[in-house]
Amino acid sequence: MTNLVLGIDVGGSSVKAGVVDLEAGRVTGELISAPTPRPSPPAALMPVIAGLAARLPGPSGTVGIAFPSVVKSGIVRTAANIDPSWVGTDGAALAARALGRPALLLNDADAAGVAEMRWGAGRGTSGIAIMVTLGTGIGTALFCDGRLFPNTELGHIELRGMDAERWASAQVRTAEKLDFPTWIARVNEYLGRLHALFWPDLFILGGAVSERFEEFAPLLRSPAVLRPAHFAGQAGVVGAALAAAESST
C-alpha cells in the first residue's frame, strides 16, 4: 500500500482535495478546495477535479474520489444533489481520463464512514454502526463489525410524508431558518426512525452537527451511542484515499 494517496471529496458547495498519509491516518499538508460548479455536469466538474489534483503533486497511484451518489463499479447511479446528467456515466473512467491515472469513485458518506471506522470515532467498534452526514443532503454509511454495506441511501427514507433529507438536512435548517433546537428535534426524529429500523449500537454524526457537537450534544437523543465524527470536513477525503489504496493492493 502506498503511503501518500490523493483523496478528493465532491460536495454540494465545494470540492475538497488533500494528500492523505496512510500511516498517520490523516491529511498531510493543506486541505484545498474549489467551489462546486453550478450546474455540475461531468464537463464542468472534471476540470475542477483535475485543477485541484494539479495543485497537489506528489502522490502517484489510484486517486480516491468521494461522490454524492450511489456508485456501483465506478458508474454513477443516482443524482439527488448533483447534476442529473451524471446518472449512468462511468465516473471513475471520466476521472481517470481527466487525471491521467486510475481513480476509484465511491459514495461520499461511505468514504467518510470508512475513515471514521478505521481512524476516527468508530475505531475498534463491533456490532452495527451508522455514519450519518448532515449537509446539503443526508448521507449514510452502514457497518456491521467494521465491514461496510455500501450505498445505503438512508437519507431518503420517508419521514413526515417526505424524503427525510428534505426534512432534516443541514441545508434545510438554513433554508427554513430553523433555530437549533427545532432542527435537532428533526434530527432526533430521523435518528429515531433509523434506530427503529436498524438498531445500531453507534451513530457517528458528521457534517454540521459534528462541527458544533458540544452545543448540540445536550439536545440530541438516541438509544444508541452518539459520537461526533472525528475528521469533520476531512472525512470524505481521508476515506476516499484509504479506499483507493486498498482497491489497488
| Residues engaged in binding ligand BGC (CB under 6 A) | 68-70, 78, 80-81, 107-109, 133, 135, 137, 139, 153, 155, 165
The smaller minimum CB distance to ligand BGC, of residues 138 and 244, is found at: 138
The smaller minimum CB distance to ligand BGC, of residues 22 and 204, is found at: 204
Least distance from ligand BGC to the Cβ atom of residue 109, Å: 4
Least distance from ligand BGC to the Cβ atom of residue 218, Å: 26
Give the residue at shortest CB distance from ligand BGC.
Answer: 137
How far is it, in rounded angstroms, from Cα 26 to Cα 7? 11
Least distance from ligand BGC to the Cβ atom of residue 108, Å: 5
How far is it, in rounded angstroms, from Cα 163 to Cα 26? 34
How far is it, in rounded angstroms, from Cα 21 to Cα 231? 14
71: DSSP letter = E
Least distance from ligand BGC to the Cβ atom of residue 209, Å: 14
Least distance from ligand BGC to the Cβ atom of residue 80, Å: 3
The smaller minimum CB distance to ligand BGC, of residues 4 and 45, is found at: 45
The smaller minimum CB distance to ligand BGC, of residues 22 and 241, is found at: 241
How far is it, in rounded angstroms, from Cα 108 to Cα 113? 9
How far is it, in rounded angstroms, from Cα 8 to Cα 212? 24
Q: How far is CA 236 from the centre of its chain?
A: 5
How far is it, in rounded angstroms, from Cα 209 to Cα 206? 6
The smaller minimum CB distance to ligand BGC, of residues 22 and 104, is found at: 104
How far is it, in rounded angstroms, from Cα 132 to Cα 186? 14
